[in-house]
Amino acid sequence: MNTLTETAAAPGTARAVLIEVQLAAVETVARDTNIYTFRRPDGGRLPPYKAGAHIDIHLPNGLMRQFSLVVPSLDPDSYVVGIKLDAASRGGSRYIFDELRVGHTLKISAPRNNFPLAENAEHVVLFAGGIGITPIWCMAQELAAQNRPWKLYYSCRSRPDMAFRRWKNCRLTPCTCISTTKPPASFLILPASSTRRRRMRTFIVAVPIRC
């Protein structure tokens, strides 16, 4: 089965190859937050990626939205994304929550990574706010798999909004969860300095208004 198509691209740019995938599973992991697993209809492999990567999901309603991959894999047969329903959605997350069902097919881009994890940091401190946890979560798993030291600061409006806290695939232990009702910016003042400051890498993903 040919599951690749090409989309029109801006003049002078390469055509983007799209991949047809099928929604294989949906799991609710927090308030208004679901995990969606996509696979090729023929069960084949998907392009590899590293933590921090995202895919474009092309929805049947004509909208396209980006979502970060939450499970690190160099030889994936599925893509897993965590999606928060935006209460003011113009149709992206709203369509996914209301219309997209297991078995439906749609087109996605291959993964792109504008947010790669530093390979050589001695200690990594991760900060995430709200649904901004998704690429950070992938990084934490990758660091844990590599036995590298890391720490996660995760802020959310409330504990029921915290994705992954009780996800069955969670195998991470050195995880600091911070729940706050204050604006997410408040947690950014947590001490990220230490004697190893210069050898430390910090990754932050936060949602500025809502989380």
Ligand X SMILES: Cc1cc2nc3c(=O)[nH]c(=O)nc-3n(C[C@H](O)[C@H](O)[C@H](O)COP(=O)(O)OP(=O)(O)OC[C@H]3O[C@@H](n4cnc5c(N)ncnc54)[C@H](O)[C@@H]3O)c2cc1C
Closest separation in Å from C-beta 30 to ligand X: 11
82 is a contact residue toward ligand X (CB under 6 A): yes
Residue 140 in the binding site for ligand X (CB under 6 A) = no
Q: Which one among 90, 101, 171, 182 touches ligand X, defined by CB under 6 A? A: 90
Task: Report helix, strand or coil for 18.
Answer: strand
Nearer to ligand X, 46 or 83 (CB): 83
Tokens of 73: 């894999």
Question: Measured at CB, which residue is nearest to ligand X?
Answer: 92
Contact 156, 136 (CB under 8 A): no
Nearer to ligand X, 36 or 200 (CB): 36
Helix (H) or strand (E) holding 137: helix 133-145
Q: Are 87 and 5 within 8 A, CB to CB?
A: no
Separation CA 27–CA 33 (nearest Å): 9
Beta strands in the chain (DSSP E): 4-6, 17-30, 33-39, 54-58, 64-68, 79-84, 105-109, 123-129, 150-156, 175-179, 200-205
- Nearest alpha carbon to residue 142 among 111, 115, 119: 119
Choice from 72, 76, 92, 129 touching ligand X (CB under 6 A): 92
- Is residue 34 at the binding interface for ligand X, with CB under 6 A as the rule? no
Assess 109 for contact with ligand X (CB under 6 A): no
- Residue ranges in 152-171 that form contacts with ligand X under rule CB under 6 A: none
Based on CB atoms, which residue is closest to ligand X, 129 or 200? 129
> Considering the rule CB under 6 A, would residue 131 count as an interface residue with ligand X?
yes
Interface with ligand X (CB under 6 A), residue total 19
Q: Which residues bind ligand X (CB under 6 A)?
A: 54, 65-68, 81-84, 86, 88-94, 131, 134
